[in-house]
Amino acid sequence: MNVKAGFFKRLKALSLPQKKLLAVALCQRMLPNYQLFAEVCQFGNPAVLDTLLQLLWQSLYDSKLKLNIELQLAKLEENTPEPEQFDVYGVYPALDAVVALSSLLGALESKVEDDITNISKLSSATVANYIEAIAPENLSDKQLEDFVFAHEVMQAEREVQENLLTIVEEQPHPKADFIKELRKEIVAAGVSNIGITLN
């Protein structure tokens, strides 16, 4: 648990622009979960999330860009799936992708920095829920917890978050070129936090 405490301590120590950058990067990684669900279930418009993410990335280095947060939240609401209306597991990671973006917008509006850092926990929770859904039945609580933490998808999520945090820590004042390059890498990788790829 020490590693985790260290992680959140470091996360909280970031400047606001660094926190925003990390949160946007994590939201970008959750996008394929929504895209796949939308495709399979013929629900929603993934372009709404994609466009919002592009605007959020741009807002990190273009101070002239002003996001209409109310409008963006309304668009997200129109594209939010209701889990009880679908009998596929994919609705949950898709919903998390929308919740992450909505939380980020709300945090930017209210300027509550803790809400920005919570995107990290939300991404990890998506992964934990996914692993629990595919876990063998009849595991005790302790066995299930061990199974979740040892799972390769959780290991990958922790590694990615750790790497992102380290990269962002090294950029006290993230510049446009760095931000664009980071976005390009995440989009090109095309892998979500639960290992979904659309390629």
Inter-residue long-range contacts of 68-74, CB under 8 Å, 24+ positions, other chains counted: 69/105, 69/106, 69/108, 69/109, 72/105, 73/102, 73/105, 73/106
| pLDDT of 5 | 53
Q: What pTM was computed for the model?
A: 0.95
| pLDDT of 198 | 84
| pLDDT of 177 | 97
Q: Rounded to an integer, what distance in angstroms lies between the CA atom of residue 198 and that of residue 190?
A: 7
Is residue 177 situated within a structural domain?
Answer: yes
Q: Rounded to an integer, what distance in angstroms lies between the CA atom of residue 157 and that of residue 89?
A: 19
CB 12 within 8 A of CB 117: yes
Is residue 4 situated within a structural domain?
Answer: no
Is residue 3 situated within a structural domain?
Answer: no
Is residue 180 situated within a structural domain?
Answer: yes
Is residue 1 situated within a structural domain?
Answer: no
3-state DSSP call for residue 197?
strand
Is residue 150 situated within a structural domain?
Answer: yes
Is residue 197 situated within a structural domain?
Answer: no
Structure tokens at 198: 């659309």
Structure tokens at 132: 């629990």
* Count of domains forming the chain: 1
| pLDDT of 1 | 37
Question: Which regions in the chain score pLDDT beneath 50?
Answer: 1-2
Q: Rounded to an integer, what distance in angstroms lies between the CA atom of residue 54 and that of residue 183?
A: 9
Rounded percentage of the chain residues whose pLDDT exceeds 70: 97
Q: Rounded to an integer, what distance in angstroms lies between the CA atom of residue 129 and that of residue 39?
A: 21
3-state DSSP call for residue 151?
coil
Domain range holding 126?
15-189
CATH number at residue 78: 1.20.1590.10
Is residue 20 situated within a structural domain?
Answer: yes
For 197, phi then psi, to 5°, come to -130, 140
